[in-house]
A and B are shown apart, each in its own frame.
Chain A
């Protein structure tokens, strides 16, 4: 579903991604972990071209998005992203947040988009907030709306960049519950997170990034039982405290 091949990324002189190779199969759940500044966000943002790789190739669902004239807006319609800071549209109601792109970009009728939007709100437990504005919701609620907004695009891939890092501790679980529920479906998920409980529950593959490289890949069990590198052990000992 996602093929990352020989990707390098520079920010000026800063070499942020170093020859990254990664395959994500259709329906696979991949969790990306690693210390701050290791390039996790940059990598996941390359997968929908919010960042452009300096060299290398990324193929999403058969489309080479790094090709010069790649139909990137078309690809983005089916590759949804959930951000650390939610990024809901504050001037739109919750339901409008869910229906805006489906109606304008995918040309789905307003009725249809509202109907499916309400269903997804129901699923994240926020149907009664359909007419509220994002500012009237708690952080956890906003992030659940953001997930519903992503789902209403009917994506085949969902990218999560630290979806719970900006949340108060007591709100983390409600968002993780929604994500675990989501993971039961065939949707492909790439999740940057330090929630190892989540990784254990849903991940098919965990990736540990360090200094712009993928230092170690494996199942969640591998990381819990016998991580190979000292860097990995040190990192895990810090986040699993």
Chain B
């Protein structure tokens, strides 16, 4: 009986490299679009959370608490299996973008809120006193300062988002984990399949994570 990492299994994998490449590309696309959505939602809901208007604050809390306190898998299942019952059929790729986007948007909202709240109130007031609108003040004065302390946790969110796209494998998501899974469940060559898949995720996440570490150290030095 050949071991789980027998040479011919690796050869088979190399032969079928395009399967993994396709999944890898899908994972990158999914991550990029998901991250864009997450950033948009995160900035919007994060700013709602810094507002003095009670309704806005409430909207922020409902979104953040609801999403952060339910598992991503259930949210994906809801989008994939639940929505069709309401007559809404979404392509699985869209389910993926929405799923990780909305999920990580909730975490990013907290990062943005904390970042904006770390900027002294006087900054917004100085901007107002010079004739800036709320959005003008946010874009030119407050967010650039919030960015400094938000970058490391934001990068961590990006890393988690990339890893979490693998949850899509549970609904035949067409991304890296799904392809690795279906390829190896056909031929039972799980060993090489998961090792290579893991390395591919690592190749995306590690550079980001080390970037975050470097930023963090820089901030520590400068503050």
Contact = CB atoms under 8 A, between A and B. Distances in A.
Interface of A: 48, 50, 73-74, 76-77, 79-81, 83, 85, 87-91, 100-101, 104-106, 149, 153
A48 B129 CA distance: 7
Contacts of B87: none
B122 A73 contact: no
A160 B123 CA distance: 16
Contact of A105 (B122, B125, B132, B144): B132
B122 A101 contact: no
A83 B131 contact: no
Given A100-B140, A104-B136, A104-B140, A89 B131 contact: no
Residue of A76, A80, A88, A101 with most partner-chain B CB within 10 A: A101
Contacts of A80: 129-130
B123 A76 contact: no
Contact of B125 (A87, A101, A153): A87
A149 B130 CA distance: 9
Contacts of B167: none
Interface of B: 120, 122-123, 125-133, 136, 140-141, 144-145, 148
Contacts of B130: 76-77, 80, 100-101, 105, 149, 153
Given A87-B122, A91-B145, A105 B136 contact: yes
Contacts of B131: 73-74, 76-77, 101, 105-106, 153
A97 B15 CA distance: 60
A77 B128 CA distance: 9
Contacts of B120: 85, 87
Given A89-B141, A104-B136, A105-B136, A76 B128 contact: yes
A100 B137 CA distance: 11
A19 to B, nearest CB: 26
Contact of B145 (A73, A90, A153): A90
Nearest to A78: B131
B136 A50 contact: no
A48 B128 CA distance: 9
9 contacts: A73-B131, A77-B131, A79-B129, A80-B129, A87-B126, A91-B145, A100-B130, A153-B130, A153-B131
Contacts of A79: 129
B132 A101 contact: yes
Nearest to A149: B130
B122 A81 contact: no
Contacts of A76: 128-131
Residue in B136, B140, B145 with the greatest tally of chain A CB atoms within 10 Å: B140
